[in-house]
Amino acid sequence: MVWTVVGLVAICLVTIAAIAFPVWAAVDAVSHPEHEWRAIGRHHTTWVLLLVVGTLLFLLAGIVASIVYVARVRPELSDLGNGRSDDPSDTLSQCLAPRESVKDASSS
């Protein structure tokens, strides 16, 4: 009897985690602005739809998409958001780079 209850609780916890992880990934994907997605060469709408529809229609597809998002896409977005992009042609990293102050520029 006890093992049955423990088994049911374990199944419930795994199910909740399997649903919560893709939902969290979709919310995180939505929280990044469009210009960050363009800067890394990925499509915002495609990833959000993949995460949401994959979770709603095929739970396994949503979990796989979430794992790929967290492992590959999210680090790229996080690096951009923190101004750590290695691409020197990236306009966002140029915008985030420290600039000379007006006072320093006028004294030169």
- Residues 100 and 96: their CA atoms lie apart, in Å, by 12
Report yes or no on 51 lying in a domain.
Answer: yes
Q: Which two tokens stand for residue 96?
A: 């985030």
Report how many domains make up the chain. 1
Q: Convert the pLDDT of each residue in 63-81 to its tens digit.
A: 999 999 999 999 999 888 7
pLDDT of residue 52: 92
pLDDT of residue 58: 86
Report yes or no on 62 lying in a domain.
Answer: yes
Q: How far, CA to CA in Å, does 49 sit from each of 22, 27, 57, 59, 62?
A: 11, 11, 11, 14, 10
Report yes or no on 107 lying in a domain.
Answer: no
Q: Which domain, by its residues, includes 79?
A: 18-85
Is the pTM above the cut of 0.85? no
pLDDT of residue 2: 77
Report yes or no on 55 lying in a domain.
Answer: yes
- Which residues, in sequence order, are CB contacts of 43 under 8 Å at separation 6+? 37
